[in-house]
Amino acid sequence: GSDHLSMRLKEFTAAGIDHEMEKFYSGKSSAPVLGNAKLASPVASHEEIPQSRQVEAPPAISRIIEIVSQAYETPQSAIVISRQRCVNEPRSAAIYLARMLGGYSLKTIAESFGSCRYSTIGNTVHAVRTRLLREADFAARMAGLEKALVRERLADKSKMEI
C-alpha cells in the first residue's frame, strides 16, 4: 500500500535525473518530443497543417500588413515590430489574417513579424479567434479587413483573366 509507494518514490528520487531528462528540461525551450533521434525524427519532420480558409491566390503578408495599417491608421512598423507583453490589435489582426486567410505557415508568419516564436503566432491566432466570439465590434472590424483582402484578390484575378 502506502509504504510500498513511499519506498518507490524514495528510490526514484535517489536515482536522480538521467542525462536525457536533464537535457530536455535545461534548455531555453523544451523540444516537443522526448526521445532519441530515431523516435523523434518521424514526428519532427511532420508537415505543419494549415488552419486556414485560404483563398485561391492568398494575399501577400506585406499586403495584409498594408491593409491593416490603413484600416487602423497606424504605421506598418508598429505592426511588424513586436513589443512584448503589449496588446497590439493591428499586429494581432494581421497575424490572424496571414494564418487564416493567407494560409501561411507559422514559420513564415514569424519571420515576417520580427522573428517571434511560432508559439507566439499560434497563441495570437487563438486569442484573436476567442476575441472574435466575444466582441462583436472586433468581429466586425476583422470581417471588414477580410472582405477587403478577398475583394482585392478577386479583382486581381479577374484582371488576369481579361
> Under a CB-based contact definition with an 8 Å cutoff, are residues 109 and 61 in contact?
yes
User: C-alpha cell of 14?
Assistant: 535517489
Q: Give the pLDDT of residue 95.
A: 96
Helix boundaries (H) for 81-135: 89-100, 106-112, 118-134
Q: Give the pLDDT of residue 65.
A: 96
Q: Give the pLDDT of residue 104.
A: 93
CA separation for the pair 25, 2 (Å, rounded): 30
User: C-alpha cell of 61?
Assistant: 503578408
Q: Quick: pLDDT tens for 88-143.
A: 999 999 999 999 999 999 999 999 998 677 888 999 999 999 999 999 999 999 99
Burial 23-34 (b: 16+ CB within 10 A, else e): eeeeeeeeeeee
Q: Give the pLDDT of residue 126.
A: 95
